[in-house]
Structure 1
Amino acid sequence: MIAASPGEEISLRAICDAVGVKMPTLYHFFGSKQGLLEAVIERGFDLYLSVKSAHESTGDPIQDMRDGWDAHVAFGLANPGFYTLMYGKVRPGYSPAPQSRPSEILLELARRADAQGRLVVPPEQAAAHILVTNIGVTLRQIVLAQTDRTLSDAVRDGAIAAITGTAAAPGTGRADIHRVLEHVAAHPDTLGLEETAMLSAWLRRLAAADDAVGQ
């Protein structure tokens, strides 16, 4: 019913009639309509994570963030009924427990990127930045009922640039350093692991020195 009418209110009576049970039976298992919806939300996250787990890691946390962004948008567009329940029903102070599962995956990627010296913000802020922009882009496309890959790619790349420090205009010392650092870290096979680690360490020292001069 949710899939057939995304965003529409679903009647408990209609659900009971479709399943062939009485209202007390539904309340026995789920407690309330909200309890039933939370079970559906959890099912939605199960489906979402099964799609994400089908994608193998590239070994590069930043590239995995890009791929995860695209998988997130694709799931939302393919399952607008589930998605609007998962991320579109907003109540102050309320966050469905299953929302934490994909958030933890994203945070782990951010921590790996941070350990490689590729973030200019704390990993918690980086993960939040990616998640909120990803949700916003997906909901906009659902609201407009049309795919906008150009917008999604632009916002994705802008969010990645913001957390990796590559968003400033070319010629800005700090941004140029981080662009090289990001490229080196994303292509470790070009120079080899030892050389990549050495160059990355030098670039981080240059970035830190540039920050000190700026202060």
Structure 2
Amino acid sequence: MNETVVMLSDEAEGPAATRRRIIDAATSLLEAGGRDAVTTRAVAAAAGIQAPTIYRLFGDKRGLLDAVAEQGLAQYIAEKKAHALRPDPIDDLRFGWDLNVSFGLAHPGIFSMINGEPRPAYRLPIVASGLEVLERKITRIAAAGLLRVSEERALNLVRASCVGAVLVLLSQPEDRRDPQLSAAARESTIAAITTSRPALKDSGAVSAAVALQASLGNTPALSPGERLLLSELLAKLAASA
């Protein structure tokens, strides 16, 4: 009986406001002390609520951490989408890389939680939204005929290299970090996935296949079945890189 009264008191400001207050408290604890610092007791004390309220609003600690990640990423992705595209698609990829690194260094708790787990993928919808931004950048490079590998491989190489660079930097004391590490990793990755000349003016069949595959969605002359068949053939050729 007493517990119910306390929980109602916790949410006197409204469930949405209480939820935001808990997420803000958990975010502060995560950034200051890592995931181990985000205990139910610590979050409840920081948010000025009782522990049962956390379980009722988020289910468990995993649900709370997901909410923390979702809020932090939503703000970051909104910032990314607000920036105008660079005319040069490769420069646009550089800009996106640098934004991602800046976010990771500014929010190590959220970045490490999302990218440092051995799970196959972090399946929050907002994470998928962030990947779509990167996929569009890769597709722009492919459509310009400047991609030397398949879009899938380019996407995974960029993700692996950028995330790896941030995690390495986060593992080092701030005053001993190599300020050029991210740029070096970025340029090495770009050199590995792009070509300096448009593929369709080159003799490279793989690059030409990648460029054509990126443009198939804008080709009304083909039926859906023809487009699917051609896409499969081009993907097979692109994968031979």
Q: What residue identity is the alignment partner of 2:143?
A: A
Quick check: 1:46 aligned with 2:74? yes
Instruction: Report the CA distance shift for 1:94/1:29 in structure 2 as closer, same or farther (over 3 A).
Output: same
Quick check: 1:95 aligned with 2:122? yes
Note the alpha carbon deviations across 1:44-67, whole angstroms, 9 max, x for none. 211221332343211222111111
In the alignment, the residues of structure 2 paired with residue 149 and residue 56 of structure 1 have an alpha-carbon distance, to the nearest angstrom, of 26
Quote how far apart the aligned CAs of 1:105 are.
0.8
In the alignment, the residues of structure 2 paired with residue 92 and residue 81 of structure 1 have an alpha-carbon distance, to the nearest angstrom, of 17
Note the alpha carbon deviations across 1:67-90, whole angstroms, 9 max, x for none. 1111111111112122222222x1
Quote how far apart the aligned CAs of 1:137 are.
0.0
Note the alpha carbon deviations across 1:78-117, whole angstroms, 9 max, x for none. 12122222222x1333423232222111111111211111
**Which moves more between the two structures, 144-153 or 109-118?**
144-153
Q: Which residue of 1 aligns with 2:47?
A: 19
Q: Is the contact between residue 7 and residue 84 of structure 1 (CA under 8 Å) also seen in structure 2?
A: no
- Structure 2 unpaired stretches of 5+: 1-28, 209-241
Q: Is the contact between residue 103 and residue 131 of structure 1 (CA under 8 Å) also seen in structure 2?
A: no
Out of 193, 204, 207, the position equivalent to 1:207 is: 204
- Residues paired across the two proteins, number: 176
- Fraction of identical pairs, as percent: 34
Q: Is the contact between residue 45 and residue 86 of structure 1 (CA under 8 Å) also seen in structure 2?
A: no
Out of 130, 146, 158, the position equivalent to 2:188 is: 158
* Structural RMSD (CA): 2.1
**Superposition map of 1:47-62 within 5 A:** 47-62=75-90
In the alignment, the residues of structure 2 paired with residue 63 and residue 74 of structure 1 have an alpha-carbon distance, to the nearest angstrom, of 17
Note the alpha carbon deviations across 1:13-35, whole angstroms, 9 max, x for none. 11112222222211111000000
In the alignment, the residues of structure 1 paired with residue 82 and residue 72 of structure 2 have an alpha-carbon distance, to the nearest angstrom, of 16
Instruction: Report the CA distance shift for 1:128/1:148 in structure 2 as closer, same or farther (over 3 A).
Output: same
**Superposition map of 1:1-215 within 5 A:** 1-88=29-116, 90-97=117-124, 98-146=126-174, 147-164=177-194, 178-179=195-196, 181=197, 201=200, 203-204=201-202, 206-208=203-205
TM-score under structure 1 length normalisation: 0.74
Q: Is the contact between residue 61 and residue 112 of structure 1 (CA under 8 Å) also seen in structure 2?
A: yes
Instruction: Report the CA distance shift for 1:119/1:94 in structure 2 as closer, same or farther (over 3 A).
Output: closer
Q: Is the contact between residue 44 and residue 50 of structure 2 (CA under 8 Å) also seen in structure 1?
A: yes
